[in-house]
Chains A and B, each alone.
Chain A
């Protein structure tokens, strides 16, 4: 992979991160928030893939292994998030984050 291609790819993941962060800051629906978090997480995972391809050799294998582990980790995190949404929905009948105002901020 050339340096120029790497810069392009990293710019792409930076854009993904920005999209994810924007979603986290603006969305009020918990499910959409989870999706936004996933988009931002995928930016980090993609970074590992690019840098692994750029590094090559043993150093590259590390990056690939990390990318696979992080995919599994992201799934775990979302599972926990969905569990919280379910409990919240059962109790309050809404998954809107803006309506969670019992604790003053």
Chain B
């Protein structure tokens, strides 16, 4: 095998690695302006995204394919560390889109911003880890790839080094992250003991004939807890709100829109095999039994409980928040609950729904945090009430933010509606107690409308409070706080515009994206069979 045919399929990963090294090289050479290092990051990410989309087979780009046709979704033999699946490619595209939005928006930060090379370098490094996660077909490869992302994100949160709030957020995130990593690896070690292999493909193929059934249950249990921290599922969510709140807001956008999805995709990879095998073997004895307990149903019930708990508590706590970033953080937690429904149900349509929900969440939540970062830079305070009247005074920002929130709430003609519709109808089709998952999801969507609508009301229908004069007396009339003349900056405006266009475009005409995701999910489900 010559080098180019081996390295070819890894072109997106190689591009990001080259981008990372180039940015750090720039730093050493003294080229540190935001525009220059940012351009490298945007370029590398955009190119990588182009190749991933080409590999997915979108017609005008097929000449750029780097993965040979036979290698995609191939029934793998042996115990490879990685496999090219179309669902993995879809997730690579999602991760790269999130990275692209964040790096585009960060171009608008002050040119002399200290630490710009560190920020863009680590951002690409984290994206590299995410791409590797999407390729993994081995438990240890998967966990180590997650760690590449995690370690880069701990440093991203703390990169300013002079903001005590960011450092505190990084510290909390680090402690919880290290704890969850330890639990995940402990679970993986138990599974290795039971199966004598760490290959997820091998485990799926053999139907999980385990030497020690107890180790299997314990191993999957530790993995659920470890990965639930990463995916911010209730009751393992508390760190996330503090980390999202304290981190620089552009980094928060990346955490909520990008790196959190890594944990969810790990759920796809690890827990689908046992769930699917139980279904395939339903008439006869299930091969995935562990002692007296069939593993698949136990996992499905556990994930269902986690899903309902996550979306309910996330929504209720979001309702109580007064600060914009914390409200969005809790809303992000509740969205993770919706996504988990797809894995608990475990059918191809449900997986497609969850994937589309994750896809949608990138534009809605990353876009929203990027917008908040821009508005905060104008001097608007952290409270939701500080946004009074912003919708009428800054129409572009108002409309964009309103569309993102409406999409998060699941209003028709936005991508948030399409994804929830696909997801909940798949849960209903699956029958059994999954119908109740759909009901819980619908009730939660209705609940979430309250706190999104409150923001809209504040933005459009409330007048800014009268500004207090230095003497403490209220100035006559209602003089609003002064907004600076400048806009969001070209980079940030482009990123937000891109997010809004995709929210509406996919919402109105979902077929191309939805079709690709559904095909990928079907391939993925058939891999183990």
A positions within 8 Å CB-CB of B: 10, 13, 17, 20-21, 24, 30, 33, 37, 40-41, 43-45, 47-48, 50-51, 54-55, 59, 62-63, 66, 69-70, 73, 76-77, 80-81, 83-84, 87-88, 91-92, 97, 100, 102-105
Return the CB mask of B180-199 against A: 1 if under 8 Å, else 0: 01100110111011001110
Selected from A62, A73, A80, A105, the residue in CB contact (under 8 A) with B197 is A62
New A-B pairs, 19, CB < 8 Å, besides A17-B186, A41-B185, A103-B242: A10-B193, A13-B189, A21-B179, A24-B179, A37-B182, A40-B179, A40-B186, A41-B182, A47-B190, A51-B189, A62-B197, A73-B147, A81-B178, A83-B158, A84-B158, A88-B171, A91-B162, A100-B172, A103-B172
Residues of A within 8 A of B140 (CB): 66, 69
Q: A24-B175, A41-B185 are in contact. Are A84 and B151 (CB under 8 A)?
A: no
Could you tell me if A20 and B164 are in contact, using CB atoms closer than 8 angstroms? Answer: no
Could you tell me if A97 and B182 are in contact, using CB atoms closer than 8 angstroms? Answer: no
Residues of B within 8 A of A87 (CB): 158, 161, 167
The 10 closest A-B pairs by CB, nearest first: A47-B189, A51-B193, A44-B185, A44-B186, A59-B196, A103-B242, A100-B168, A40-B182, A55-B196, A37-B178
In the assembled complex, how far is the CB of residue A103 from the closest CB belonging to chain B, in whole angstroms?
Answer: 4
Residues of A within 8 A of B13 (CB): none
Q: A55-B196, A91-B167 are in contact. Are A47 and B186 (CB under 8 A)?
A: yes
Is the CB of B416 closer than 8 A to any CB of chain A?
no
Residue in B167, B170, B238, B245 with the greatest tally of chain A CB atoms within 10 Å: B167
Residues of B within 8 A of A103 (CB): 165, 168-169, 172, 242, 245-246
Which residue of B has the minimal Cβ distance to A48? Answer: B189
Which residue of A has the minimal Cβ distance to B155? Answer: A80
Is the CB of B154 closer than 8 A to any CB of chain A?
yes
Could you tell me if A33 and B238 are in contact, using CB atoms closer than 8 angstroms? Answer: no
Could you tell me if A84 and B188 are in contact, using CB atoms closer than 8 angstroms? Answer: no
Is the CB of B91 closer than 8 A to any CB of chain A?
no
Q: A43-B186, A84-B171 are in contact. Are A105 and B165 (CB under 8 A)?
A: no
In the assembled complex, how far is the CB of residue A70 from the closest CB belonging to chain B, in whole angstroms?
Answer: 7
Could you tell me if B179 and A30 are in contact, using CB atoms closer than 8 angstroms? Answer: no
Residues of B within 8 A of A92 (CB): 164, 167
Q: How far is the CA of A92 from the CA of B182 in the complex (A)?
A: 28
Could you tell me if B196 and A51 are in contact, using CB atoms closer than 8 angstroms? Answer: yes
Is the CB of B174 closer than 8 A to any CB of chain A?
yes
Which residue of A has the minimal Cβ distance to B158? Answer: A84
Selected from B167, B171, B197, B238, the residue in CB contact (under 8 A) with A59 is B197
Q: How far is the CA of A83 from the CA of B151 in the complex (A)?
A: 12
Q: How far is the CA of A13 from the CA of B87 in the complex (A)?
A: 37
Sample 23 A-B pairs with CB under 8 A, ordered by A number. Answer: A13-B189, A37-B175, A40-B179, A40-B182, A41-B185, A44-B182, A44-B189, A47-B189, A51-B196, A63-B192, A69-B140, A73-B144, A77-B151, A80-B154, A84-B154, A87-B167, A91-B164, A97-B175, A100-B171, A102-B168, A103-B168, A103-B242, A105-B242
Residues of A within 8 A of B175 (CB): 24, 33, 37, 97
Q: How far is the CA of A83 from the CA of B171 in the complex (A)?
A: 10
In the assembled complex, how far is the CB of residue A93 from the closest CB belonging to chain B, in whole angstroms?
Answer: 11
Residues of B within 8 A of A47 (CB): 186, 189-190, 192-193
Residue in B144, B172, B186, B238 with the greatest tally of chain A CB atoms within 10 Å: B186
Selected from B147, B164, B169, B170, the residue in CB contact (under 8 A) with A77 is B147
In the assembled complex, how far is the CB of residue A90 from the closest CB belonging to chain B, in whole angstroms?
Answer: 8
Which residue of B has the minimal Cβ distance to A51? Answer: B193
Q: How far is the CA of A55 from the CA of B189 in the complex (A)?
A: 13
Residue in B151, B171, B172, B246 with the greatest tally of chain A CB atoms within 10 Å: B171
Q: How far is the CA of A48 from the CA of B219 in the complex (A)?
A: 13
Residues of A within 8 A of B189 (CB): 13, 44-45, 47-48, 51
Residue in A37, A47, A84 with the greatest tally of chain B CB atoms within 10 Å: A84
Could you tell me if B158 and A77 are in contact, using CB atoms closer than 8 angstroms? Answer: no
Which residue of A has the minimal Cβ distance to B242? Answer: A103
Residues of B within 8 A of A10 (CB): 193
Residue in B144, B172, B181 with the greatest tally of chain A CB atoms within 10 Å: B181
Which residue of B has the minimal Cβ distance to A21? Answer: B179
Which residue of A has the minimal Cβ distance to B167? Answer: A88
Residues of A within 8 A of B161 (CB): 87, 91
Residues of B within 8 A of A54 (CB): 193
Q: How far is the CA of A87 from the CA of B168 in the complex (A)?
A: 10
Q: How far is the CA of A39 from the CA of B144 in the complex (A)?
A: 19
Could you tell me if B182 and A83 are in contact, using CB atoms closer than 8 angstroms? Answer: no
Residue in B151, B193, B238 with the greatest tally of chain A CB atoms within 10 Å: B193
Q: How far is the CA of A21 from the CA of B182 in the complex (A)?
A: 10
Q: How far is the CA of A33 from the CA of B147 in the complex (A)?
A: 19
Residues of B within 8 A of A62 (CB): 192, 197-198
Could you tell me if A80 and B144 are in contact, using CB atoms closer than 8 angstroms? Answer: no
In the assembled complex, how far is the CB of residue B172 from the closest CB belonging to chain A, in whole angstroms?
Answer: 7
In the assembled complex, how far is the CB of residue B277 from the closest CB belonging to chain A, in whole angstroms?
Answer: 21
Which residue of B has the minimal Cβ distance to A42? Answer: B182
Q: How far is the CA of A37 from the CA of B185 in the complex (A)?
A: 12
Q: A44-B185, A87-B158, A91-B162 are in contact. Are A51 and B179 (CB under 8 A)?
A: no
